[in-house]
Every structure is written in structure tokens, then in C-alpha cells.
Amino acid sequence: MSNATLQTLKNRRAIRSFDNKQIKSEDLNTILEAARYSPSARNGQPWHFTVIQNEDLLKAMNKDGKEGAIKTAPDFMREKMQADNFSFWHGAPTVIITSGSDENRFAAADCAIANYSMMLAAEALGLGSCWINSGLMLFEGSKGSVYKERLSIPSGYTPLYSVALGYINGDKPAAPERKTDVITYFK
Ligand SMILES: Cc1cc2nc3c(=O)[nH]c(=O)nc-3n(C[C@H](O)[C@H](O)[C@H](O)COP(=O)(O)O)c2cc1C
């Protein structure tokens, strides 16, 4: 495949092991710009992005997220969460939370596209990314509203998705197998 965009789309993988090294601020800006230039219904742009690069804050979010997740997490997740070094965001040095406006009925779709745009931009820049929803159980726990405030999530916005970003540690994983029986043609 020679087209760079198509290569980016196909080569992006969910990365679950990151270097400690922080990403460059120009790369972060490019990633956020990709998000802001995503399409949205009626150009509503019903999103807000929270960039977290503070190690202590990420540690606290992981710790309190576990507490929030303990009730709602599926069994496989609860088991993983027991590990001392468990991190919802796989130890990534940068986490971006995409929050959607509660007033906009297309926010879920628009924010999902923006979250994915950041992952594609990361891939194009040679960075690793992983879409993370599990960590957002943090906002469902007893400290949910505390974190919404601590992270300055604007009122009327709900954290919907997040992305872990950083340099890839080790080899990029192989693509998980794709289903093939998912297309119907009428020609
Ligand atoms: C809505 C959504 C939620 C996800 N949540 C998590 C998550 O909480 N933790 C995680 O490690 N990966 C998560 N992923 C990543 C998927 O597991 C991954 O995209 C999938 O296994 C396919 O692998 P690929 O991205 O390498 O193609 C999520 C992906 C999506 C789209």
C-alpha cells in the first residue's frame, strides 16, 4: 500500500506499553489540531479536550479509577486491576479525555470521531496510542464529581472517551484478526 493516509489507517494499533519519555509539545499540538478539525454534525464541535501530562495526577486517577471501577467493571477487568502496576492508560505519559456536551444529541458520534482523529494523527507522527474507555469509570465512582472539578471538565460536559499517547515501548503488536463477513453488497 503506497498511500500514506491509507497506511496510517491500517498500521495504527492499540498500544499498551509506553516509554516514560514525554511527547513533544509540537506533536501534542498537531494531535489536538487533528481533533479540532474533525467533522461534527452541523459543525457543532460539541467537544472539550483535557490534556493530562502530570504523573502524580495520572497516578491518582488510576488509583481512584480502580475504586470507581470495582462495582461496574467486567470480571476480566477486575482481575487485571489487582496488579500493583496496573494502569488504565497503560502508563502512557499523556492522556487526553474527550468530553461531550450534554446539550448536543450528536456529541457521542462527534467526540468519537475526534478521539479517533487524535489516534490517527499520533500514528502519522510515529507515536503510539490507545483508545481507553475503562479509565473513565473513574467518573462513575464516589470521587467522580471531585475529578470532574479537579480536571476542570466544563459544566454541562461529560467525559466520553479518552486516548493514551506516547512513544511505543517495544514492538508494535500485530493487528488482531478482522472479521470478513461484515459487508453486504448490492451491485
Ligand atoms: C470504544 C473503545 C473502547 C476501548 N477501551 C479500551 C480500554 O479501556 N483499554 C484498552 O486497553 N483498550 C481499549 N480499546 C482498544 C481496543 O481494545 C482495540 O482497538 C481493539 O482490540 C482492536 O485493536 P487495534 O486497535 O490494534 O486494531 C478500546 C477501543 C474502543 C474503540
Residues 22-46: pLDDT tens digits?
A: 999 999 999 999 999 999 999 999 9
Number of domains in the chain: 1
Instruction: Answer yes or no: is 141 within a domain.
Output: yes
Instruction: Answer yes or no: is 8 within a domain.
Output: no
For a substitution probing ligand 1, which of 90, 96, 111, 130 has the most ligand atoms within 8 Å of its CB?
Answer: 130
Ligand 1 pocket check for 77: Cβ under 6 Å: no
What is the 131 CA–ligand 1 centroid distance (Å)?
5
User: Of all protein residues, whose CA lies closest to atom 1 belonging to ligand 1?
Assistant: 133
CA distance 44 to 59: 33
SS3 114: helix
Instruction: Answer yes or no: is 171 within a domain.
Output: no
Instruction: Answer yes or no: is 132 within a domain.
Output: yes
Instruction: Answer yes or no: is 6 within a domain.
Output: no
Instruction: Answer yes or no: is 1 within a domain.
Output: no
What is the 145 CA–ligand 1 centroid distance (Å)?
25
User: Of all protein residues, whose CA lies closest to atom 15 belonging to ligand 1?
Assistant: 131
Instruction: Answer yes or no: is 40 within a domain.
Output: yes
For residue 83, pLDDT over 90 is answered with: no
Domain that holds residue 82: 14-166
CATH of the domain at 88: 3.40.109.10
So what's the pLDDT on residue 1?
63
3-state secondary structure string, 38-74? CCCHHHCCCEEEEEECCHHHHHHHHHHHHHHHHHHCC
